[in-house]
């Protein structure tokens, strides 16, 4: 039996429900989209353990109450995913650690269900390529959550490059760090993932987005180890510094990324982000932490990014609404899911939307950076 307005979410972690740093994006965005589009449906979350299912059910109820949503939300065992996909839901959201991405996205592709996938594609170039090819062969729609493509500051940056208003771009520099307690206390999978793969992939994707048609030639990466690596081990380096040699419009371009789990617990924001782009005749600086809204209390100062994900009162109705580029990634994908065939064809042809075939660019650079780390920081050619 078809369930066209059922939305399945594989996983029920921080990005779905929420954590100590704020409300989860995925579930609230889905609920807000259903309500704003006037669609009746239900949401099914999955979790592996009974204890986690109870916790997720409480979090889901709180999320619905936050928004005043009456959409039913249930939590079932992870083993039920195949059965749920067999019912042909409207969409599936895959919000689990990287190593499980391939399994669930391929299951969605077999069932003919559009999939929304937390970044990166898989964190491993070989499996990412296999997955992309498999989905392409099946005509499957897979949207990777590179939501920074919808951030107004990144759109302005892309437009500036496209118009050539400051001449040739020379150097793209990114600083991006998150709290050290995330890998030390909250992310059980952190031992297998370095911060360049986990959060830096956003800005590797931005290279392809801001500089359309860019060619990635080689990469070099080194690590800095401190309290995170000492506590967690494995690939949980405190910081990764990565340089990428590129060619854009047949001219050289260099990208430098300093990415880490380096923020002390008293940092004013969960994500500290700054982008600089040097041109021949100018410079653009995008402070993506200090967005102009601060909260001062006796406990300290918080930088709030109102453009990522916020619950705001609608000025007409007074009802809680959701807005921001984190929401946009969910809403634009779901709009695709309910569009007619012609509109879906147009959207699938877009090179600026984060479909899986475009998202593999970041995996190619990550593979070279990971190989460089293993080789002690030597330069590694990026696979074509």
pLDDT digits 0-9 by tens, 28-37:
999 999 999 9
211 part of a folded domain? yes
Residues 157 and 143 in one domain: no
Residues 128 and 179 in one domain: no
Residues 143 and 155 in one domain: no
Residues 344 and 369 in one domain: no
97 part of a folded domain? yes
Residues 53 and 194 in one domain: no
Residues 18 and 163 in one domain: no
Residues 299 and 178 in one domain: yes
SS (H, E, C) 137-155: HHCCCEEECCHHHHCHHHH
Total domain count for the chain? 2
Q: DSSP 3-state assignment of 274?
A: strand
- pTM, 2 dp: 0.95
Residues 69 and 91 in one domain: yes
Question: Strands 115-117 and 142-144, how do they pair?
Answer: parallel
310 part of a folded domain? no
130 part of a folded domain? yes
For residue 1, what pLDDT is reported? 38
242 part of a folded domain? yes
For residue 186, what pLDDT is reported? 85
Asked whether the beta carbons of 292 and 286 are under 8 A apart, the reply is no
For residue 21, what pLDDT is reported? 83
Nearest to 293 by CA among 318, 276, 277, 310: 310
For residue 2, what pLDDT is reported? 43
Residues 137 and 164 in one domain: no
Cis status of the peptide bond prior to 237, with omega within 30 of 0? no
314 part of a folded domain? no
List all residues 6 or more positions away from 189 whose beta carbon is below 8 Å from its beta carbon. 97, 98, 99
pLDDT digits 0-9 by tens, 149-167:
999 999 999 999 999 999 9
For residue 359, what pLDDT is reported? 97
309 part of a folded domain? no
Quickly list H helices, the chain: 26-36, 50-67, 81-86, 101-111, 125-138, 152-163, 181, 195, 201-210, 227-232, 325-338, 341-348, 356-374
215 part of a folded domain? yes
Show the domain range for 154.
149-303+363-381
Residues 287 and 324 in one domain: no
Residue 348 belongs to domain with CATH number: 3.40.50.720
- Give the separation between CA 356 and CA 381, rounded to whole angstroms: 22
Residues 154 and 295 in one domain: yes
For residue 325, what pLDDT is reported? 97
In this prediction, the residues of the chain whose per-residue pLDDT falls under 70 are 1-4
Residues 236 and 126 in one domain: no
């Amino acid at each position: 039996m078809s369930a066209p307005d059922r939305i399945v979410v594989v996983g029920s972690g921080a990005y779905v429900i929420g954590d100590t740093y704020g409300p989860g994006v995925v579930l609230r965005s889905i609920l807000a989209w259903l309500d704003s589009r006037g669609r009746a449906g239900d949401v099914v979350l999955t979790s592996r353990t009974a204890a986690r299912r109870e916790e997720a059910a409480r979090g889901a109820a709180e999320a619905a109450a936050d928004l005043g949503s009456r959409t039913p939300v249930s939590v079932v065992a992870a083993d039920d995913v195949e059965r749920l996909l067999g019912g042909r839901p409207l969409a599936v959201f895959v919000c689990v650690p990287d190593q499980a991405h391939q399994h669930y996205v391929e299951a969605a592709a077999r069932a003919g269900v559009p999939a929304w996938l937390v970044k990166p594609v898989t964190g491993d170039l070989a499996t990412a390529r296999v997955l992309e090819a498999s989905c392409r062969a099946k005509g499957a729609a897979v949207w990777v959550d590179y939501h920074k493509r919808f951030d107004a500051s990144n759109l302005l940056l892309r437009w500036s490059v496209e118009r050539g208003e400051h001449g040739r771009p020379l150097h793209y520099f990114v600083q991006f760090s998150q709290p050290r307690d995330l890998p030390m206390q909250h992310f059980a999978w952190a031992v297998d993932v370095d911060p360049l793969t986990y959060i830096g992939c956003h800005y590797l994707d931005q290279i392809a987005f801001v500089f359309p048609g860019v060619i990635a030639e080689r990469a070099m990466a080194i690590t800095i180890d401190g309290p995170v690596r000492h506590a967690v081990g494995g690939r949980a380096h405190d910081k990764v510094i990565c340089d990428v040699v590129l060619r854009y419009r047949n001219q050289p371009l260099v990208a430098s990324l300093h990415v880490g789990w380096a923020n002390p617990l008293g940092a004013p924001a969960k994500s500290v982000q700054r982008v600089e782009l040097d041109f021949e005749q100018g410079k653009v600086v995008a402070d993506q932490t200090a967005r102009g809204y601060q909260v001062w209390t006796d406990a300290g100062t918080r930088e709030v990014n109102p453009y990522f994900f916020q619950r705001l009162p609608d000025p007409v109705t007074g009802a809680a609404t959701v807005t921001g580029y984190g929401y946009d990634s969910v809403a634009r994908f779901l709009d695709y899911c309910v569009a007619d065939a012609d509109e879906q064809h147009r959207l699938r042809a877009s090179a600026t939307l984060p479909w899986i075939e475009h998202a593999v660019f970041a995996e190619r650079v990550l593979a070279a950076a990971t190989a460089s780390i293993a080789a002690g920081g030597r330069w590694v050619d990026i696979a074509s």
